[in-house]
Amino acid sequence: MTNTNRFARPDLADCIPDLVATARGDKKATLVITNAKLVNVCSGEILDNRSIGVQGSRIAYVGMDASHLIGEETQVIDARGRYVSPGFLDGHCHIESSQITATQFARAVLVKGTTGGFFDAHEIANVLGLPGLKLMLEEARATPLAAYMQVASCVPSTGPELETSGVNIGPAEVAEAFTWGPDMIALGEVMNFPGVVFSDPKMIGEIQAALRAGRVVDGHFTWPVDDWRLSAYAAAGVSGDHEPVTAEDVIERVRLGMYAKMRRGSAWHDVAATIKAHTERGLDSRRMILVTDDRSPESLVDEGHIDFVVRHAIQQGVKPVTAIQMATINTAERFGVARDVGSISPGNFADIIMLDGNLADINVVMTICAGQVVAENGSMTVELDEFVYPEEAVTSVRLKRSLKAEDFIIAAPIESGEVKARTIGVRENHVDTQEIIVDVPVRDGRVQIGPDRDLCKISVIERYGINGNQAHGLVSNVGFHEPAAIATTVAHDCHNLMVIGNDDELMAQAANAVASAQGGISVVTRNGVTTLPLPVAGLMSNAPFEEVAEKSRAVSEALKQAGCTMNYAFMTLSLLALVVVPELRLSDIGLIKTTAEGFKIVPLFLEGE
């Protein structure tokens, strides 16, 4: 991995002479850890009274006695019998979903024991294209994290006939991104699985570009596993997937040679069910990986990051060492970088965490990245420089005009009475939705929505200044029991302006608040406006993560006061424009339904179908 900053991570080949000399004792170590209980993820053992010697950024020695490595300049850390483990790796994560920049994300997770990850920046890629992806890569390289980036595969997630994205990425762009360095590690989640199994040239071309560059391909398969499609998907070269939601989903992927990623995000609670493939069905765990996918900023503060997921897996009955393997060496092996990260082994980067108390508690008290202590007792011990984003990255909201209440009127096919309509049924703690048919009241040719029933309008408005498209739909199970609206430019994956509410005036007010902030989230009720500005691509804030977490918490509280009490509700609502996930979603072009054959536009009203 190329990294030209104070947290540099040189290639192993360049470090061999110094590492060997250090192991002999001819060159003194820069850092030595003594008296450690070593969590050996290679052998699955806990080894008492071990010492670790580090030269620069890499480990030179692991053994019983490192006294021959210690010189006058050596930093010595006495573990005093505490557990020492490889730093945690997140095998699938979108930094942008935490609404903070890579620098602030590093500050948030390093103290929790995350020392690296495999980050799919397809959110910023949908807004800014390859330049946005390169900005994320450059910023991540300047942090202590072993930050591996994936090339976004679905920009847009389907095609221009179904949604409007800020840019387009195809096979040529994928091939170009892989020339940026070995830390461009994989092709990001291939969400358009019908495009793969029915041989769409764009999707097949992107996979071929990744494989020809010697990279792996990550998946996003959301269809039942009991037919031919999963085999076709795997045959195309997709070798890892984070969409299992049942134990059977995990079993079928592992049986086909894939890595099954088990997700515990803020609002995606899949580990408890999927982990049973190991705890109850007895499958070998080495192709199972723990991931977060999406974590809100307040959940990073309140719950943690991968440390939380590992702890949760242990609570489901996984042995502590096995759970740690699922967030370290398994992840590194999946991406082919186990010679650099994922274990405390000679030659590997010195990405090490120290755990206090019972191993099952996963209580991280020290984090070492590339041989440097970067966090201790919940606080950073190093300062990270702020990354400055260019003007085009912070002025990405370009609406054709301000929004008015009239823009949210939904015309009905009848003058008065009731009409049957499709609604997007939200499911708490799930990424999928349900198509629900409801009778909707109509007066004067307009749909009537109010707080007296659990039904909201939803509108998606193209925000890149391309065509000004706007489409309407209906959504149920949001829970608003009073006039309320939420608007956001965090609307996966095209990240157009999405507005949900039961009052047209409030919907317009929320939309304009977000637009004037150059992106973010705004909740409007009769009691006032709560806004979280996210000016970086309309997705992230470069403010301190603690500040962003508190503003995100205020958004959650405003939603709760209006009646939307779902767990980390915004995370679920932000997916309602993600048209590649079953069953029903809304884009700026219209309602999109996922079928076994692909995606199709369906009318809002059933009248005349």
Confidence of residue 6 (pLDDT cuts 50, 70, 90): confident
How much of the chain, in percent, has pLDDT values that exceed 90? 91
Strand pairing class (31-40; 45-55): antiparallel
Confidence of residue 3 (pLDDT cuts 50, 70, 90): very low
Question: What's the average model confidence in pLDDT over 29-33?
Answer: 98
Q: What is the rounded radius of gyration, in angstroms, for the C-alpha atoms of the chain?
A: 25
Residue that is last in its domain, among 334, 357, 388: 388
Residue environment code for 7-24, b if the CB has 16+ CB neighbours within 10 A, otherwise e: bebbeeeebeebbeebbe
Look at residue 354 in the predicted model and tell me its pLDDT: 98
Residue 605, beta-bridge partner list: 421
CA separation for the pair 322, 285 (Å, rounded): 7
In a domain, 520, yes or no: yes
In a domain, 26, yes or no: no
Q: How many residues does the chain have?
A: 609
Domain containing 324 — which CATH number?
3.20.20.140
pLDDT at 161 over 90: no
CA separation for the pair 355, 31 (Å, rounded): 18
Chain mean position to CA 222: 16
Look at residue 248 in the predicted model and tell me its pLDDT: 97
In a domain, 607, yes or no: no
The pair phi, psi for residue 139, each rounded to 5°, is -70, -45
Place of tokens 């929004």: 403
Instruction: Kindly report whether the peptide bond that precedes residue 454 is cis, defined as omega within 30 degrees of 0.
Output: no
Specify the amino acid at residue 219: G
**pLDDT per residue over 417-443, tens digit each?**
999 999 999 999 888 899 999 999 999
Least reliable range by pLDDT among 4-18, 238-252, 308-322, 507-521: 4-18
Cα–Cα distance list, 327 to 26, 154, 378, 437, 544 (Å):
35, 26, 20, 42, 27
Cα–Cα distance list, 338 to 12, 253, 302 (Å):
12, 22, 31
Residue 88, beta-bridge partner list: 114
Residue that is last in its domain, among 388, 405, 434: 388
What's the domain range around 415? Answer: 393-602
How much of the chain, in percent, has pLDDT values that exceed 70? 99
Look at residue 452 in the predicted model and tell me its pLDDT: 73
In a domain, 149, yes or no: yes
Same domain, residue pair 297 and 408: no
**pLDDT per residue over 440-480, tens digit each?**
999 999 999 977 778 999 999 999 999 999 999 999 999 99
Instruction: Tell me if 165 sits within 8 A of 156, measured CB to CB.
Output: yes
Token couple for 330: 């398994």
In total, how many domains does the chain have? 2
CA separation for the pair 543, 562 (Å, rounded): 27
Same domain, residue pair 358 and 442: no
Question: What's the average model confidence in pLDDT over 46-66?
Answer: 98
pLDDT at 46 over 50: yes
DSSP character for 6? T
Mean of all residue pLDDT scores within the chain: 95
Look at residue 453 in the predicted model and tell me its pLDDT: 78
Instruction: Give 490 or 8, the one with higher predicted confidence.
Output: 490
Look at residue 1 in the predicted model and tell me its pLDDT: 42
Same domain, residue pair 399 and 309: no
Same domain, residue pair 206 and 166: yes
Confidence of residue 609 (pLDDT cuts 50, 70, 90): low
The dihedral over CA atoms of 267, 268, 269, 270, expressed in degrees to the nearest 10, equals: 180
CA separation for the pair 161, 163 (Å, rounded): 6
Residue 541, beta-bridge partner list: 100
pLDDT at 225 over 90: no
Instruction: Tell me if 157 sits within 8 A of 578, measured CB to CB.
Output: yes
Question: What's the average model confidence in pLDDT over 87-91?
Answer: 98
In a domain, 398, yes or no: yes
Question: What's the average model confidence in pLDDT over 25-36?
Answer: 98
Chain mean position to CA 345: 28
> Please, is 175 exposed, middle or buried when counting C-beta atoms within 10 Å of its C-beta (0-12, 13-18, 19+)?
middle
Look at residue 264 in the predicted model and tell me its pLDDT: 96
pLDDT at 545 over 60: yes
Least reliable range by pLDDT among 187-196, 199-208, 219-228, 387-396: 219-228
Cα–Cα distance list, 593 to 300, 432, 489, 557, 582 (Å):
33, 12, 22, 32, 7
**pLDDT per residue over 553-608, tens digit each?**
999 999 999 999 999 999 999 999 999 889 999 999 999 998 877 889 999 999 76
Residue that is last in its domain, among 388, 407, 433: 388
Confidence of residue 19 (pLDDT cuts 50, 70, 90): very high
Instruction: Kindly report whether the peptide bond that precedes residue 156 is cis, defined as omega within 30 degrees of 0.
Output: yes
Confidence of residue 178 (pLDDT cuts 50, 70, 90): very high
Same domain, residue pair 314 and 423: no
Same domain, residue pair 300 and 439: no
CA separation for the pair 229, 247 (Å, rounded): 18
Token couple for 324: 């740690």
The pair phi, psi for residue 275, each rounded to 5°, is -65, -15
CA separation for the pair 368, 352 (Å, rounded): 5
Question: What's the average model confidence in pLDDT over 77-84?
Answer: 98
Place of tokens 């070798």: 239
Same domain, residue pair 384 and 407: no
DSSP secondary structure of 45-76: EEEEEEEEEEETTEEEEEES--GGG--TT-EE
Question: What's the average model confidence in pLDDT over 165-170?
Answer: 91
Look at residue 318 in the predicted model and tell me its pLDDT: 98
Same domain, residue pair 383 and 398: no
Same domain, residue pair 459 and 573: yes
Same domain, residue pair 373 and 432: no
Same domain, residue pair 384 and 410: no
In a domain, 20, yes or no: no
Strand pairing class (146-151; 114-120): parallel
In a domain, 181, yes or no: yes
Same domain, residue pair 355 and 472: no
In a domain, 34, yes or no: no
Confidence of residue 224 (pLDDT cuts 50, 70, 90): confident
Helix (H, G, I), strand (E, B) or coil at 424: strand
